[in-house]
Amino acid sequence: MRRVPTVLVVGLLSVVLSGCGGPAGTTDADYAAKYRAAVELLADVERVEASYRSSGGIGRSGDVFIHADTSDRETMVGILTKAMPAIVEAADGDPEVNLAIQVVSAGGASAVSPADLGYVGTGSLTSYREFVAE
C-alpha cells in the first residue's frame, strides 16, 4: 500500500519539475546553437563561441563571444549593434537566462560589450529585450 503514495509523489514531482525547463526537447546545446546561428552570418564576424548552462533550480547562464575579423572598434560596435537584436529575436519564447555578450577583436586584444552601446541592465534576456525595444 505504501507503493501507491510513493508512485503518486514521484509522478507529481516529475510533472512539477518538467515545467521548470524550456520547451520540450530543447537542450542547452540547442540554445547555444540558436544564439550562435543568429549572429554568425553578420558581416565582419569570423567565428562565434556560444555556451548555455542550465543549473537545476538555480537558473541559467550563457555567453555569446563573437570574434570579429577586425580590431577596428567602430566596426566591432557595429557588429554588436546588429547582434543584440538578432540574439533577442532568436531567443523569443526562451526561458530567462543571464547572457554575457561580447564582440572580441581579431587577435583577442580588446572587446566591446553591451555597455559600449549604453546598456546598463543586468545581463538577463528580459533586460536585453527591454534595451533593444527602446
- Render pLDDT for 51-109 as a digit per residue (tens, 0 to 9): 999 987 789 999 999 999 999 999 999 999 999 999 999 999 999 999 999 999 999 99
Domain ranges, residue 111 = 25-133
Q: What is the CATH number of the domain that holds 36?
A: 3.30.70.1350
34 grid coordinates: 540558436
- Residue 84 domain flag: yes
Examine residue 78 and state whether it is found in any structural domain, yes or no: yes
Is residue 74 within 8 A of residue 37, CB to CB? The reply is no
State the number of CA atoms in the 13 A half-sphere of 94 facing the CB.
Answer: 29
Number of domains in the chain: 1
Whether residue 1 is contained in a domain is answered as no
The answer to whether residue 7 scores a pLDDT higher than 80 is no
Instruction: Dump pLDDT digits (tens) for 22-51.
Output: 445 589 999 999 999 999 999 999 999 999
